[in-house]
């Protein structure tokens, strides 16, 4: 087993020392002086690494386990596959691009800014071709938005499956995007923007991953983005240009965006008919289920983040988000949903962006069934798995925003479970 699931020996010693010394209240007492303090350490004596050692830095080696991971048997090939953001080990709300989940339908492509072209055609006065440089000359905006794959938590429809929040909820990231509103480009081409029109978008990669977006959304908050978290998009996130469709399923956030076509009907592409549709209990399927409903999950403690410090002060930390706007309330239960306490929001989240929540508690060492429940500004409350199944049955794959349960045992080990 890897260290990430197994708290380090040092952590155990630290935790158990605190326990042995009382562990109920107050600071632990030390029997012997800590040599890390009393003895001169190498790093306090020798010089460190000079500037430019790494012109573009990577996380320090101690953090090398905080990486995207995939589950091989989920898909046929890593070329058309998905991996998961290590949300168990991240804090705050912004996801660094380097560990933000990837989903490719035909692999990530290397497309330079110089080779980049964006076409806008269809029901427009003047079909246009833009270069990358053209895009940087339109007035631009900055917004933080979450991007969640419609299949996030999809494996869990059938019951508790994968033991790790990275795997159950890691098809999500949250970045600050810089880009041009799609409406600006539509107006530039003199598009027919009447309400019954659609905007079909496709990528430059082999899959093309075409999707149809209704005009109302296209004119609202969709961005043609070229930066994320202040830097150029990473290759795997669509360098040099991707579409940002706030609050809507990740599949619509077309990467390597190459064409925008104004149409008089939805194209009904492969990705919006055979995939990303929700089969209900009677076999009929919902289509155009674009919005990602309010959802939350506790990221720590969680199976990959056991409690290693024993009893006493414990920070429960988690994420909440809604495709319908802002998160207004998050409640946490320690007994599987019998009683709930209102969590503290780390910072009021932006609309359609991740919000961090905390519950600070004094853990008595008793087992817990941890759950979190989000409410958004529309008043919608995140449902239980039971409520979802009641409406949709168990044949669905996508759009599972159920309340997640972690069983935390007396030793602080957490496990993905389903409860009555």
Partner 1 sequence: MSKSPNLLLPALGGTALVLGVAFGLMNRDYAADKIDTLEMRVDQVSTQASSAAEKAKVEAARAAELEQQVAEIQAAAAKQVAGGTLAEPAPQIEGRYGLGRAALAEEIAAWDVDVLPDGRGLPEGSGDVWTGEEVFVDYCASCHGDFAEGVDNWPVLAGGFDTLANEDPVKTVGSYWPYLSTVWDYVHRSMPFGSAGTLTADETYAIVAYILYSNDMVDDDFVLSNETFNDVEMHNAEGFIVDDRADVEYAEWSVEPCMESCKDEVSITMRSVFLVETPPEGGSNSVMNPAKVDDLPSFTAAGPSFIPAAATKPAEAPAPQVTEVAVADDGDALLKHGEKVFRKCSACHAVGDGAKNKVGPQLNGVMGRIMGSVEGFGYSNVFAEANAAGKVWTPEEMAAFLAKPKSYIKGTKMAFAGLKKDEDLDAITAYLASFAE
**Residue list 329-348, contact with partner 1 (CB under 8 A):** 329, 331, 335-340, 348
285 binds partner 1 per the rule CB under 8 A: yes
Task: For partner 1, give the closer residue by CB, 41 or 364.
Answer: 364
Instruction: State how far the Cα of 295 lies from the Cα of 333, in Å rounded to an integer.
Output: 15
Instruction: State how far the Cα of 376 lies from the Cα of 291, in Å rounded to an integer.
Output: 13
- The single residue among 137, 196, 231, 344 that binds partner 1, judged by CB under 8 A, is 137
- The single residue among 154, 210, 240, 312 that binds partner 1, judged by CB under 8 A, is 210
Q: 135 phi and psi, to 5 degrees?
A: -60, -35
Q: Near partner 1 by CB under 8 A, which window of 32-40, 90-98, 290-298, 312-320?
A: 290-298
Alpha-carbon distances, residue 235 vs 111, 231, 240, 399 (angstroms) = 8, 12, 7, 26
Query: Which helix (H) or strand (E) element contains residue 17?
Result: helix 9-20
| Terminal C-alpha separation, the chain | 30
What pairs with residue 312 in β-bridges? 363
47 binds partner 1 per the rule CB under 8 A: no
Q: Near partner 1 by CB under 8 A, which window of 43-51, 52-60, 244-252, 287-295?
A: 287-295
HSE of 201, CA atoms in CB hemisphere, 13 A: 25
66-95 residues in contact with partner 1 (CB under 8 A) are 67-73, 75-77, 79-80
299-328 residues in contact with partner 1 (CB under 8 A) are 303-304, 308, 310
- The single residue among 95, 122, 186, 228 that binds partner 1, judged by CB under 8 A, is 122
Q: Near partner 1 by CB under 8 A, which window of 146-154, 238-246, 248-256, 367-375?
A: 367-375
348: which DSSP letter? P
Task: For partner 1, give the closer residue by CB, 46 or 407.
Answer: 407
240-269 residues in contact with partner 1 (CB under 8 A) are 258-259, 261, 263, 265-269
**Residue 3 CB neighbours (<10 A):** 10
Q: Near partner 1 by CB under 8 A, which window of 40-48, 108-116, 237-245, 386-394?
A: 386-394
Q: Near partner 1 by CB under 8 A, which window of 17-25, 42-50, 145-153, 244-252?
A: 17-25
Instruction: State how far the Cα of 216 lies from the Cα of 195, in Å rounded to an integer.
Output: 6
Q: Annotate each residue in 180-199 with x if it binds partner 1 (CB under 8 A) or - if it does not, as one string.
A: xx-xx--xxxx---------
Quickly list DSSP for 41-89. -GGGTS--PPTTSSSS----GGGTT---B--GGGSSBTTBEE-B--GGG
Name every residue whose Cβ is closer than 8 Å to that of residue 284 and which is 6 or more positions away in sequence.
none
């Amino acid at each position: 087993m890897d260290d990430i699931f197994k708290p380090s020996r040092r952590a155990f010693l630290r935790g158990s020392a605190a326990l042995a010394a009382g562990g109920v209240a107050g600071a632990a007492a030390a029997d012997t002086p800590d040599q890390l303090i009393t003895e001169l350490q190498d790093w306090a004596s020798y010089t460190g690494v000079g500037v430019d050692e790494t012109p573009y830095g990577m996380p320090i080696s101690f953090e090398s386990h905080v990486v995207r991971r995939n589950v091989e048997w989920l898909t046929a090939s890593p070329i058309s596959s998905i991996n998961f953001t290590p949300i168990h080990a991240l804090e705050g709300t912004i996801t660094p691009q380097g560990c933000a989940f990837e989903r490719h339908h035909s692999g990530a492509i290397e497309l330079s800014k110089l080779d980049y072209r964006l076409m806008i055609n269809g029901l427009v006065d003047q079909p246009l071709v833009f270069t990358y440089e053209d895009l940087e000359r339109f007035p631009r905006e900055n917004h933080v938005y979450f991007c969640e794959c419609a299949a996030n938590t999809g494996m869990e429809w059938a019951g508790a499956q994968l033991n790790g929040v990275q795997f159950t909820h890691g098809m999500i990231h949250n970045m600050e995007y810089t880009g041009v509103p799609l409406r600006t480009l539509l107006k530039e081409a003199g598009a027919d923007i009447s309400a019954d029109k659609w905007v079909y978008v496709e990528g430059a990669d082999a899959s093309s991953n075409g999707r149809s977006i209704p005009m109302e959304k296209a004119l609202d908050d969709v961005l043609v983005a070229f930066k994320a978290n202040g830097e150029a998009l990473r290759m795997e996130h669509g360098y040099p240009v991707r579409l940002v469709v706030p609050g809507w399923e990740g599949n619509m956030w077309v990467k390597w965006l190459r064409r925008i076509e104004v149409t008089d009907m939805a194209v009904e592409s492969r990705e919006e008919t055979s995939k990303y549709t929700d089969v209900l209990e009677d076999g009929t399927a919902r289509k155009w289920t674009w919005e990602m409903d309010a959802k939350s999950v506790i990221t720590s403690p969680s199976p990959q983040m056991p409690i290693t410090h024993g009893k006493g002060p414990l920070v429960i930390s988690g994420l909440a988000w809604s495709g319908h706007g802002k998160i207004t309330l998050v409640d946490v239960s320690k007994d599987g949903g019998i009683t709930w306490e209102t969590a503290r929001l780390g910072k009021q989240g932006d609309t359609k962006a991740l919000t961090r929540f905390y519950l600070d508690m004094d853990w008595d060492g008793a087992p817990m069934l941890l759950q979190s429940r989000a409410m958004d500004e529309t008043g919608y409350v995140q449902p239980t798995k039971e409520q979802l199944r009641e409406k949709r049955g168990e044949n669905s794959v996508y759009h599972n925003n159920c309340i997640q349960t972690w069983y935390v045992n007396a030793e602080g080990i957490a496990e993905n479970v389903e409860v009555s």
